A = this chain, B = another copy of it.
Amino acid sequence: MYCFNNDYSEAAHPQIMDALLNAAQEQNTGYSMDEHSRHARERIKKEIKNEEADIHFLVGGTQTNLLVISAALRPHQAVVAAESGHINVHETGAIESTGHKVLFQTAKDGKLTPALIQASLDWHIDEHMVQPKMVYISNSTEVGTQYRLAELEALSAFCREKGLYLFLDGARLGAALTSPVNDLTMADIARLTDVFYIGGTKNGALFGEALVITHPALKPDFRFMMKQKGAMLAKGFLLGIQFETLFQNNLFYAMAAHSNRMAGFLREAFLECKVPLATDSQTNQQFPILPKTLIAKLRENYQFQDFEPYDETSTVVRFVTSWATKEEAVHEFVKDFKKLYQNG
């Protein structure tokens, strides 16, 4: 049984584990005030070409999302997201729990545009309604798509004109930046957003997200917010060690590239078989629309998740690859899939 359920089924890349083991005898200062964390911050600042950014290390994505949004907004302000945005659906009301409404716009490919954000602004015009103040996007998105440079530039310019903070959830930033159709660098991301994060959990770290704050108004007292929300890891050096390692010898990009390459084999197989794809993803998540009978047969040997209903006979399913996905397992799947598909 091989598992394509998600990109957090395996512990961590051996280099990450080695780095943690190497530090096992050290005594480190707590709460991310240690040397590893300092060093990891330096590497990330170099990567994003911004020495002034504030960088904080956090354990997980929902935690990071709720922290950033609740630290940035005043009580009456809201965040605009795509309907499929993680904060809108899959975080059990984490944002609302901190007091803020999530306004959403339906966006078929999971990507916001200036026009969609403008629609939220048009509707929220006085004190009887919440005040949109932040825009939340994900790259790659929850449906595997990604922003191109021109798209992000347009969003960035629009947000700056309207006085909206632009926040990019990078839980799968590695997958986006190493996709064959990517034209963005991490420095572009830092330049065009006000705050974003670099996902470790879904890209080979044991756990961890590196939050990068570039907008000066979002920097003050962020560590207070972290502590208050239970998001300041006592052994913060564990995060420092991991990000130090991720940004050494391009490990971060290498793992994401592997993950995308594995997903590329799946995509090719689906396209070859003329299986319709729900979204045009060139990252590590693939969303084929498969007959329910085929799904049942595939599940005798492979794990993958239902994504959403499609019609009477078909379902949109999700295949996810990771830094740890074995190439031979993918090829075997492709072989099995083609055989079953042609026989189905």
Contacts and interface: CB of A to CB of B under 8 A. Distances in A.
29 contacts: A5-B29, A5-B30, A6-B30, A9-B27, A9-B28, A9-B29, A10-B24, A10-B27, A11-B24, A11-B237, A62-B232, A64-B230, A70-B75, A71-B74, A75-B228, A76-B92, A76-B221, A76-B227, A93-B99, A93-B100, A94-B228, A96-B99, A96-B130, A99-B99, A128-B227, A131-B221, A131-B224, A201-B234, A207-B238
- Tier of interface size on chain A: 35 or more
B207 A234 contact: yes
Contacts of A67: 230
A17 interface: yes
Nearest to A236: B8
Interface in A58-81: 59-67, 70-71, 74-76, 78
Contacts of A108: none
Contacts of A334: none
Contacts of A25: 10
B234 A90 contact: no
Given A5-B30, A20-B17, A60-B234, A229 B94 contact: yes
Interface of A: 2-3, 5-6, 8-12, 14, 17, 20-21, 23-30, 59-67, 70-71, 74-76, 78, 89-94, 96-102, 127-131, 201-202, 206-207, 221, 223-235, 237-238
Given A207-B235, A229-B230, 17 more contacts: A8-B30, A8-B234, A11-B26, A17-B21, A60-B230, A61-B234, A63-B229, A66-B229, A92-B130, A92-B224, A94-B227, A97-B228, A97-B229, A127-B223, A130-B224, A206-B235, A230-B231
A56 to B, nearest CB: 11
Nearest to A94: B228
Give the 10 A-B CB pairs with smallest separation, nearest first.
A63-B230, A76-B224, A92-B228, A127-B223, A93-B101, A92-B227, A62-B230, A93-B130, A96-B101, A9-B27
Nearest to A3: B27
A99 B182 CA distance: 38
Contacts of A221: 74, 76, 127, 131
Nearest to A10: B27
Nearest to A171: B234
